[in-house]
């Protein structure tokens, strides 16, 4: 169990306090915004308030105690003192400053530390997916792909970006998605040059690209994919850029294997785009991990100097070329790192689709 793996990294006198929704879910399987998880060498205690306690007790099996608390810090103080906790690690990147200060003022004799130890231990666990986690990501991706097939029938001249975004979201929600992975990006024309453009009232026109970046959430796990499709006939320059991005994406996908450096996976796509003269126009990193959050470790980035891929990672590969005022192209798949290399979790066609 992941909670036991995390607990095994504690030294005597140390404890972890997990306050974020996503990490509480990851370790307990219980989805709720109002709860914290305290892990001491002896105990694993989840606490929430009276509104959620019955549901929490029905779901959580990995804890020694699941309790209802009006004031979490009172219970944390009691448990830290009975277990002899001297150092409490918190999620520095996720805890609110208010809660951190409250812990510091209410826990006497306990050092509440702002080091990244807890984050690092959690990220290491979360980046390696179990077979069950991979199944959930695959289910999420299957819902998204069904959505993509459907929305291709709706993309046509005269329809607005926002209509497409809303229709795609609703289709995925009707077809088993608990939520969409993030605000769907559905942009056309010159707006495709904005990597994270927001859909608006712009109308689809012939000769434009339409870019869709979207995903579904299934049992707490996210999917992520991007496709750029042509509406009617496109120019030679559009086709050229599309093919450069596609080739770069295939190169990075082919490079993925355990032990390979994340920055080299980034370079596999980036170097090809540079060679073609568009290096400056590829303005983000090549990919990221996906799981209980849409963006998690590992990052396929030139700034990730030491990180290496490992079996069980699920990462996106999503190079793009963006020409402001003209158009942009991005193509994104998700891949699972396996002992032999990688398996692409995305089935949707990526040779240029002309609608």
**Closer residue to Mn ion, CB minimum distance, 241 or 334:** 334
Please name which of 187, 174, 184 lies closest in space to residue 143, comparing C-alpha atoms.
174
Integer CA distances (angstroms), 344 to 166, 174, 217, in order: 27, 26, 18
Minimum CB separation from Mn ion for residue 140, in Å?
Answer: 13
**Closer residue to Mn ion, CB minimum distance, 167 or 224:** 224
Say if residues 277 and 268 touch (Cβ distance below 8 Å): no
Piece of the chain touching Mn ion by CB under 5 A; list 52-60, 219-227, 260-268, 304-312: 219-227
Say if residues 257 and 341 touch (Cβ distance below 8 Å): yes
Q: Can you read off the two tokens belonging to residue 180?
A: 């969409």
Minimum CB separation from Mn ion for residue 316, in Å?
Answer: 4
Inter-helix orientation angle 97-106/72-82, to 10°: 50
Say if residues 345 and 336 touch (Cβ distance below 8 Å): yes
Round the CA-based radius of gyration of the chain to a whole number and report it.
23
d(CA 169, CA 84): 50
Instruction: Find the farthest-apart pair of alpha carbons in the chain and give their distance in angstroms, rounded.
Output: 72
SS3 84: coil
Total residues in contact with Mn ion, by rule CB under 5 A: 2
**Near Mn ion by CB under 5 A: residue from 224, 266, 293, 296:** 224
Minimum CB separation from Mn ion for residue 226, in Å?
Answer: 7
**Closer residue to Mn ion, CB minimum distance, 193 or 316:** 316
Minimum CB separation from Mn ion for residue 205, in Å?
Answer: 26
Residue span 292-331 as binding mask against Mn ion, x where in contact by CB under 5 A, dash where not: ------------------------x---------------
Q: Can you read off the two tokens belonging to residue 169?
A: 């979201």
19 binds Mn ion (CB under 5 A): no
**Closer residue to Mn ion, CB minimum distance, 10 or 144:** 144
**Closer residue to Mn ion, CB minimum distance, 249 or 316:** 316
Q: Summarize as ranges the residues that interact with Mn ion (CB under 5 A).
A: 224, 316
């Amino acid at each position: 169990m992941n909670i036991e793996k995390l607990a095994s990294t504690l030294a005597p006198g140390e404890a972890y306090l997990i306050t974020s929704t996503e990490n509480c879910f990851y370790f307990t399987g219980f989805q709720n915004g109002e709860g914290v998880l305290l892990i001491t060498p002896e105990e694993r205690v989840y606490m929430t308030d009276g509104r959620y306690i019955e549901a929490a007790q029905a779901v959580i099996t990995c804890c020694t105690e699941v309790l209802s608390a009006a004031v979490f810090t009172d219970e944390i103080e009691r448990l830290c003192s009975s277990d002899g906790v001297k150092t409490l690690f918190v999620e520095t990147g996720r805890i609110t400053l208010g809660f951190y200060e409250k812990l510091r003022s209410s826990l006497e004799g306990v050092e509440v530390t702002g080091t990244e130890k807890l984050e690092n231990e959690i990220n290491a666990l979360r980046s390696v997916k179990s077979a069950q986690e991979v199944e959930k990501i695959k289910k999420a991706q299957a819902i998204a792909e069904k959505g993509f097939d459907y929305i291709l029938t709706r993309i046509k001249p005269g329809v607005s970006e926002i209509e497409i975004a809303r229709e795609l979201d609703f289709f995925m929600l009707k077809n088993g998605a608990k939520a969409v992975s993030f605000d769907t990006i559905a942009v056309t024309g010159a707006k495709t040059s904005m990597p994270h453009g927001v859909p608006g009232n712009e109308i689809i026109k012939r000769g434009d690209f339409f870019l869709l970046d979207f995903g579904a959430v299934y049992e707490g796990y996210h999917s992520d994919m991007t496709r750029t499709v042509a509406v009617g006939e496109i120019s030679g320059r559009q086709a050229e850029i599309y093919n450069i991005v596609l080739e770069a994406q295939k190169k990075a996908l082919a490079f993925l294997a355990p032990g390979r450096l994340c920055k080299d996976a980034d370079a596999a796509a980036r170097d090809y785009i540079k060679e073609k003269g568009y290096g400056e126009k590829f303005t983000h990193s090549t990919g990221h991990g996906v799981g209980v959050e849409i963006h998690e470790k590992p990052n396929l980035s030139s700034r990730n100097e030491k990180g290496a891929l490992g079996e069980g990672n699920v990462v996106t590969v999503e190079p793009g070329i963006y020409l402001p005022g003209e158009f942009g192209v991005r193509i994104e798949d998700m891949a699972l790192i396996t002992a032999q290399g990688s398996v692409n979790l995305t089935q949707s066609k990526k040779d240029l689709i002309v609608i």
